[in-house]
Amino acid sequence: MSASAVVFEPDEELNRRTLMMGNRLFLAANTMLMASMIFAYLFLRGNNYGGNWRPDGIADLPSVSMAVTLLLQLACLVAVLGALRAVQGGADVRALGAVALVFGLAAGVARVWYQYNLGSGWVITNGTYTAVSEMWFGILIVELLLGWFWLLSIVVTGPRNSTKAATSRHLRAFSEFWFYMLIASTFVWLLVRLV
């Protein structure tokens, strides 16, 4: 009666296509979220012509710490891609996967620390510039940390409880997601810093 395991064998190719498509659709929705924030930022900026953007008393975004955070995100991505190569070659995901996890966690922790140490004047009650920027950074932090848990699940399940096909498609999808986050993080920082 329980026909689930009987006739239909797991189709790895179908699962791969499904996961990649689902991931990309999620990123499309995420792009709409980012687009809303871009709209909000530019709209609020345009609404404040005449000297209130950026307001007095708000420090410039620090460059060095943000660059370090972005580099940590990049390092995580490189490690993930390395892990993907390793898995496709038959090796264990856990070696490079652990490296990726460390970099990813460091990036997430750095961003959280950064959120509380942006500089003088950086509170959301201090006008819309700080509010929209901090909200945007906050969204990125949430997405990065949740994504990190995805990576954790990939690395932890490892070869014992997951097939090579499953691990490599998850790594592949994760790398696309993480790359997207890297681009988004860079873009947001540049926009808020320069515009």
Partner 1 sequence: MTTMAVARQPRPLSQVLAQWGIVLGIVGAFIGFVVGAQIGEHLVPADANSTGSNAALIIGYVGSAIGFLAGMGFFNYPIARLMGRPRPTEWDEAFLYGEEGGWKRYFRLNVDHKAVGMQYLVTIIAFLMLGGLGAMFIRAELLQPEPSFASAESYLTVVGLHSVIMIFMASAAIIGPLGNYFVPIMIGSRSMAFPRLEALTFWLLPPAALILLSSIFLGGFPTGWTGYAPLADEAVRGMDGYLVAFTLVGISISLSGLNMIATVLTRRAPGLRMTQIPIFVWSVFVTSVLGLLAPPVLLAVLVMEMLDRIGHATFFVPAGGGTPYLWENLFWVFGHPEVYIFILPAFGVMLEMLPVFARKPLWGYRVAVGGMVGVGVLSWFVWQHHLFVSGIAPSLRPFYMFSTEAISIPTSIVYLVAIGTLWKCRARFTVPMLFIMGFLFNFLIGGFTGVFLSDVPSDFALHASYFVQAHFHYTIMGAEVFGLVGAITFYLPRMTGHVLNERLGKIQFWWMFISFNGTFLSLLALGILGMPRRVVTYDPGLQGLNVSASLFAFALGGSMLFFLFILVKDTIVTPVRARVVNVWDSLGNEWRLPSPIPIHNFTTPPTDWALPYDYDRDDHRTAVPGGGMALPEGVTE
Partner 2 sequence: MSATRRLVYTLGAIWLVLAVIGSFVIAILPFPPGAASNVAGSVTDTIRLLTWAAWPVFSLTIIGVIGAVLVRRSDPDAAAAPARELRGNPRLASTWIGVVGAVVLALAIVGTITLGNDDAAQALGLGGRTISGDNGNVIGGALDEGGYLPVQVIAQQWQFTYRYPTLGGFESAHLVLPNNTNVQFHITSLDVTHSFWLIALGVKGDAVPLHDNVFLATTQQLGTYRSVCGELCGLWHGAMDDNSMQVVSAGDFDTWVAQEKVLDAPIMKYLPPYSTTYVPDPAAYGS
CB of 51 to partner 2, least distance (A): 7
Q: What is the DSSP string of 50-84?
A: TT-SSPTT-PPPPSHHHHHHHHHHHHHHHHHHHHH
Which residue, 59 or 67, has its beta carbon nearer to partner 1?
59
Residue 47 binds partner 2, judged by CB under 8 A: yes
DSSP state of 126: S
Q: Is 49 in the site for partner 2 (CB under 8 A)?
A: yes
Contact partner, 49, from partner 1, partner 2, none, Cβ < 5-8 Å per class? partner 2
Long-range contacts for 64-71 (Cβ within 8 Å, ≥24 apart)?
Answer: 65/110, 65/114, 65/117, 66/114, 66/189, 68/110, 69/107, 69/110, 69/111, 69/114, 69/185, 70/182, 70/185, 70/186, 70/189
Contacting partner 2 (CB under 8 A), which of 50, 57, 89, 90? 50
Beta carbon of residue 41, minimum distance to partner 1 (angstroms, whole number): 10
Look at residue 165 and give the partner it binds from partner 2, partner 1, none, a contact being a CB closer than 5 to 8 Å depending on partner kind: none
Residue 51 identity: G
Min dist CB 60 to partner 1, Å, is: 18
Q: Which CB atom, from 117 or from 153, has the smaller least distance to partner 1?
A: 153
List of residues contacting partner 2 (CB under 8 A): 47-52
